[in-house]
A and B are shown apart, each in its own frame.
Chain A
Amino acid sequence: MDVGQYLGIFLDESQEHIQALNDNLLTLEQDPENEDSINEIFRAAHSLKGMAGTMGYKRLQRLTHDTEDVFSAIRGGSMKVTSSLIDILFQALDAIQGYVDTIRDTSDEGENDNESVIAELGKFLNGGGEEGGGAEDSEGAAEGASEKAAAPVSSNSEKALYKKIVLEEAQKDVMKDAVVAEKKVYGFTVYIAESCMLKAARAFLVFKAVEEMGEIIVSNPSSQDIEDEKFDLSFSIFVVTSEPMDKVVAAIKSVSEIEEVAGEEYDETMIDSNGTEADAGEAEAAGEAESAAAPEAESAEVTVAPAAEPKAERRAASSSSSSKKAAPAKKPVASQTIRVDIDKLDVLMNLVSELIIAKNALVSSAAQMSGGSNSESQAITENVEYLESVTTNLHESVMKVRMVPIESALQRFPRMIRDLEKKLGKRMQLTITGEETELDRTVVDQIGDPLMHLLRNSADHGLETPEVRSGRGKPETGSIFLNAYQEGNNVIIEVGDDGNGIDVEAVRQKIIERNFMSEEQAMQMNDKEVIDVLFDPGFSMAKQVTDISGRGVGLDVVKSNIEQLGGDVEVKTKLGEGSTFIVRLPLTLAIIQALMVLVGGEKYAIALGNIQTIEDIPVSEIRLVENKEVIQLRGSVIPIIRLSDMLDAPEVERDTENLIVVVVKKGDSLAGLVVDELMGQQEVVIKSLGKYINTSRIISGATILGDGEVALIIDSNALF
């Protein structure tokens, strides 16, 4: 069976299910009685198992099956959620993640049987009651039984096969309760087209579509057999829902390759009498034993899922993943969204970049010939202007396509904090806000590690032990937060804690102790400069040996990673109250609006987003403060930086009376860059200088101008 075309969907959906398992296990650990979570976990594990089976990943299927058994026992009440059980379940989850990762890399699940995890799960199952073993037995029975049942089904010409299902008392009770609660009970028989290659996958989609609207009480053959493709061209289900009949039918029919749907609404007497005329009754009843357990577990959760309100009560950390889950679940069939390979988007982006370079070339040649007043040159100018607005819009659209919520980079953090909590013996609570903030895909892919470092730092070194905290009159549970939001052309991510904060004096002592600087130098630095040393690679390495001030693990790596993305990081801290790392990232990476300037006859681009104002300053207004040149501008004192010195620019004749100062900002601080000449605003495509050439951090890249010349881009953030 060729399942290659489903691989992408499989990977994406498994990832969602694994994330759901992670989130809900975390919730369960806090609140072991939380039925919503238990049900959701069961549902996710069940879906994972089904997909693994359909795709033919036997090892993954086995592991998820055992995991599901454990949840089944928990749901059935025969097993209690304990801390050690949660640990094992997390291990199983990691193993599942391992399979999915291997599948993503090789499209094969690999050779690892994860016997130890399975054995651990088995231990819990055997010690935790008969439920687990029982489920296995009934499944075996179901497989045998359904084959027997298959014969009468296929030979029967009547369409409404659901009438033949013998309902168990428990199932009847559920349906009757539903009728009393003014919900509707329907029986359906779904026929799949004979030409269908992947019956199990289609059936799975039907199940998914129906579960969106209600709850599947019974299916025949059992859901297990359907997953294993042990059914003919039809299967029957009983559904409890509050939706009208035709809507459910429409949903089923929306799955492609579904030929026909037969169904009717049931009332109480019909529920009671159903299946009495069936001859294959007993066999089918056995077949239902296993599947009955499954859909019931999905009950309450499924019906409320699309609303998503109950989930809002959950911890902030998991709120995003549930809202995300609700969104794709509404369209199980690819209709309004398509998944596109990121490489294709990169190609598109490159083409847009080329187009903009070509457009810039056209603009500059049009400007040259605009001297003539004849109508032809005027027409060209107009059309070039039109082209300019089209390419700008095109660029914006492509940029938007590449933007994804930062959420995917943050999903693993609640789990990580949970693990750290165990390891460090501290109590901590992670709050995440702004997961919906959008960033370029490339940035989102690469921001995870630096943020992880910062969070670990907060957990490990920022937060105090519970004893110390209660001694200081703080709540024993420390809070760690991660807030993301957009600010102008930047996205800001704040990571912080209410822990000890950075002990600046301890760092200063350390600097002297480590001979990183002379005592005199160290004493002269202000607090901000001392903290900046923490980001210095040389210092940080020394720190790891002793780690006394409690900060400094890999902060240099964090800084360099963020700078590679064109961003920067700063820290605010107050001793005893906590610290906050503020990460600032550019919204887009590839194309920016820039101001072109001349310095020493060379052209440079400065990102427009960083520019506050442009000023003409008479040389006489320059003052010296601590031997540094400053100017006064509307009440504030601004340091000025002569770019010609900074860039070792060739000497040219300059205006000695007045200076052109480009005032740039970074956060709250301003600086003035002295340039020789302004050339105007331009859209520039950022190109990397490549790995071979090392230059100052001031040069963040290069761009190609309209005439083919290369101009360098100045990163004004690096000047502060």
Chain B
Amino acid sequence: MADELRIIDNDITQYIVVALGNEQYGIDIKYIDNIVRMQRITRVPKSAEYFRGVINLRGEVVPVMSLRVKMGLPEGEITGKSRIIILKVDQSGSIGVLVDEVKKVYNLRADDIEENISHDSKSGVQSFISGVGKVENGLVSLLDLSTIIGEVD
């Protein structure tokens, strides 16, 4: 049954859209394990600057990075809307990504996604984007999670 559904919805991908300041970014829902509210983060000395630290996620210690700092934006304030998106990209563990706000879920058809965006290396942000999706009220940059997380290694 589930397989049939997937065949029908073959060219539709679901994205969760998050906000960093005024910009909106889409994260492929299949990598998202969980979304949690802001909680106490333990700073880890000598780690990369975009790491906020580690949190206790149901007994597991999960590192949390600030997506803002990672994308080259200034560190933002923690508000009631701040969320940590827990990603599970491969089998080797989870990682949390701190965002300003989680907006909503969009269904994007393959036609709605423009992948041939110019790779202008002048802005560091560009390399973390795998494409741009068209939604009703504008454009959403789709995050390439493997480069965002993979670069940490």
Contacts and interface: CB of A to CB of B under 8 A. Distances in A.
A704 interface: yes
A674 to B, nearest CB: 15
A602 interface: yes
Contacts of A693: 44, 47-48, 51, 54, 63, 152
A687 interface: yes
A652 to B, nearest CB: 14
A711 interface: yes
B42 interface: yes
B122 interface: no
A710 to B, nearest CB: 4
Contacts of B45: 646-649, 695-696, 698-699, 712
A695 B47 contact: yes
Residue from A691, A710, A711 having most chain B Cβ neighbours under 10 A: A710
B55 A694 contact: no
Interface in A676-696: 687-696
B77 interface: no
A648 B61 contact: no
A699 B54 contact: no
A698 B153 CA distance: 19
B42 A690 contact: no
B126 to A, nearest CB: 22
A343 interface: no
B32 to A, nearest CB: 16
Contacts of A688: 61
A689 to B, nearest CB: 6
A714 B135 CA distance: 48
Contacts of B149: 692
Interface string B16-51: 000000000000000000000000101111111001
B113 to A, nearest CB: 27
Contacts of A702: 42, 54, 61
Given A691-B153, A693-B54, A694-B152, A710 B61 contact: yes
Interface in B66-96: 92-95
Nearest to B51: A693
Contacts of A712: 42, 44-45, 54
A698 B47 CA distance: 12
A602 B44 CA distance: 10
B46 A696 contact: yes
Contacts of A129: none
B46 A699 contact: yes
B13 interface: no
B146 interface: no
A530 B62 CA distance: 38
A690 B94 CA distance: 8
Residue from A646, A690, A693, A711 having most chain B Cβ neighbours under 10 A: A693
A689 B59 contact: no
Contacts of A649: 45
A695 B52 CA distance: 12
A657 interface: no
Nearest to A703: B61
A357 B48 CA distance: 29
Interface in A223-253: none
A396 interface: no
A702 B54 CA distance: 9
A646 B46 CA distance: 9
A591 B125 CA distance: 42
A709 interface: yes
A648 B93 CA distance: 27
A708 interface: yes
A643 to B, nearest CB: 10
Interface in A345-398: 353-354, 357
Contact of B44 (A687, A689, A691, A708): A689
Contacts of B65: 692
A456 B52 CA distance: 43
Nearest to A353: B59
Given A692-B95, A694-B152, A710 B48 contact: no
B111 interface: no
Given A690-B62, A696-B45, A710 B95 contact: no
A690 B149 CA distance: 12
Contacts of B152: 692-694
Contact of A699 (B44, B94, B95, B153): B44
Residue from B46, B95, B149 having most chain A Cβ neighbours under 10 A: B46
Contacts of A647: 45-46
Nearest to A648: B45
B120 to A, nearest CB: 27
A353 B48 CA distance: 29
Contacts of B42: 602, 702, 709-712
A503 to B, nearest CB: 35
Contacts of B3: none
A673 to B, nearest CB: 14
A690 B56 contact: no
A704 B92 contact: no
Nearest to A705: B56
Interface in A622-642: none
Contacts of A687: 60-61
Contacts of A710: 40, 42, 53-56, 61
Residue from B47, B53, B61 having most chain A Cβ neighbours under 10 A: B61
A709 B56 contact: yes
B138 to A, nearest CB: 32
Nearest to A710: B42
A602 B53 CA distance: 12
A224 B83 CA distance: 70
B63 A690 contact: yes
B95 A708 contact: no
Interface in B95-137: 95
Contacts of B40: 708-710
A692 B153 contact: yes
Contacts of A690: 61-63, 92-95
Contacts of B93: 690-692
Interface string A399-428: 000000000000000000000000000000
B91 to A, nearest CB: 11
A290 B90 CA distance: 57
Contacts of A602: 42-43
A693 B54 CA distance: 9
Interface in A515-559: none
B41 to A, nearest CB: 8
A695 B63 CA distance: 11
Contacts of A357: 59
Interface string A704-720: 10001111100000000
Residue from B40, B59, B60, B153 having most chain A Cβ neighbours under 10 A: B59
A695 B55 contact: no
12 contacts: A646-B45, A648-B46, A688-B61, A691-B153, A692-B149, A693-B47, A693-B48, A695-B46, A696-B45, A699-B44, A710-B56, A712-B54
Give 4 closest A-B pairs by Cβ, nearest first.
A696-B46, A693-B63, A710-B42, A647-B45
Interface of A: 353-354, 357, 602, 646-649, 687-696, 698-699, 702, 704, 708-712
Given A602-B43, A690-B95, 7 more contacts: A690-B93, A692-B63, A693-B47, A694-B47, A695-B45, A699-B44, A712-B54
Interface of B: 40, 42-48, 51, 53-56, 59-63, 65, 92-95, 149, 152-153
